[in-house]
A = this chain, B = another copy of it.
Amino acid sequence: MYQLASRTSEAGSIVEVDGIRIGEGFTVIAGPCAVEDELQIEAAAKGVAAAGGALLRGGAYKPRTSPYSFQGLGAPAVELIAQAGRRHGLPPVVEALSIEQLPLLAEHVGMIQIGARNMQNFALIQAAARTGKPLLLKRGPAATLDELLYAAEYALLEGNRSVVLCERGVRGFDSHTRNLFDLAGALRLKELTHLPVIVDPSHATGRRSLVVPLTLAAAAAGLDGAIIEVHPEPARARCDAAQAIDLPEFSDLMARLAVFAPSKVASAGCR
């Protein structure tokens, strides 16, 4: 059984990313699917910061199902998001696809994401953990909760205790949503582990209209946060346009989330 990942006491862990404490209150990570250019990431960062987001997401290396899809800008995107994040006080969260990308990411970003496709790419997880950076580990679409916790254990065993887990939908059978958002699984995770657990309603559903209510649901249920795709102009997004919300929607969401903040501790889903 996993050991370092197991919950052994009432108190959950706090993962700190450049001063942002994940595991305390409801933390919102927001930004575009991919960094597309300087203006786009600057507009996104500005809007996210103004609305009260805590961290800035944005893909530099995109793991695309098809080799013919936009693969991200690569290294230049890492620097663009780092600059935008710095200007607006938002630590960047960027996904790593291979070990060779880790040094650049470790230098520039606040948190390194291991995506769902690589949840059992243990070599990558171990190398990412060894950078010492906080990690955001996403659940794979066919992964059980135990498998996710074992994957986290690979990172924890490297001596890096800053691991945040993310539910982003498992493979389902209904084409109305891209994946099947497993909110109950995320809550159950909180019972099994002390690590913070957040959700990604954007990738879980692939549907803009569901992002706001599901984020409110996650907050009401007592989870630790959400990572949300926000784009200054969703219609022009180079990837995942159908799931990105725009800045006014994001701002409205943040205002509505404020309701849940005070009752956060009391409404913890795990007991």
B-side contacts of A176, CB under 8 Å:
144-146, 185, 188, 192
When distances are taken between beta carbons in the complex, the residues of chain B under 8 Å from A177 are: 184-185, 188
Closest CB-CB distance, A201 to chain B, in whole Å?
8
- What are the residues of chain B within 8 A of A84 when measuring CB–CB? none
Say which residue of B187, B216, B256, B271 sits within 8 Å of A214 (CB atoms): B187
Interface size (A, Cβ < 8 Å)? 70
With a CB–CB cut-off of 8 A, which chain B residues contact A66?
2, 150, 153
The answer to whether B118 and A121 have CB atoms under 8 Å apart is yes
Q: Map CB proximity to B onto A94-126 as digits: 1 under 8 Å, 0 otherwise.
A: 000111100000000000000001101111100
A66 vs B4: C-alpha distance in the bound complex, in angstroms?
A: 12
Question: Which residue from chain B places its CB closest to the CB of A115 in the assembled complex?
Answer: B120
Interface string of A201-240 (1 = CB under 8 A from B): 1001101011011101111111000000000000000000
Chain B residue at smallest Cβ distance from A266: B256
Interface centre among A174, A216, A222, A260 (most CB of B within 10 A): A174
**A175 beta carbon closer than 8 Å to chain B:** yes
Q: Does A154 contact B (CB under 8 A)?
A: yes
The residue of chain B having its C-beta at the shortest distance from the C-beta of A268 within the complex is B213
Whether B183 pairs with A171 at a CB distance below 8 angstroms is: no
In contact, B170 and A142 (Cβ under 8 angstroms): yes
Q: How far is the CB of A144 from chain B (nearest CB, A)?
A: 5
Q: Is the CB of A67 within 8 A of B181?
A: no
| Contact call B180/A150, Cβ cutoff below 8 A | no
A171 engages B147 (CB within 8 Å) = no
Is A210 a contact of B269 with CB atoms below 8 Å? Answer: yes
Decide: B270 and A144 in contact? CB cutoff 8 A.
no
**A212 CB contacts on chain B under 8 angstroms:** 269
**Pair B150/A67 contact, Cβ less than 8 Å:** yes
- Shortest CB-to-CB span from A239 to chain B, Å, is 15
Q: Please tell me if the beta carbons of B210 and A216 are within 8 angstroms of each other in the complex.
A: no
Nearest chain B residue, comparing its CB with the CB of A67: B154
CB-based contact A142/B142 at 8 Å = yes
9 A-B contact pairs sorted by A residue (CB < 8 Å): A67-B150, A170-B173, A173-B173, A183-B183, A183-B214, A184-B205, A187-B214, A210-B269, A213-B267
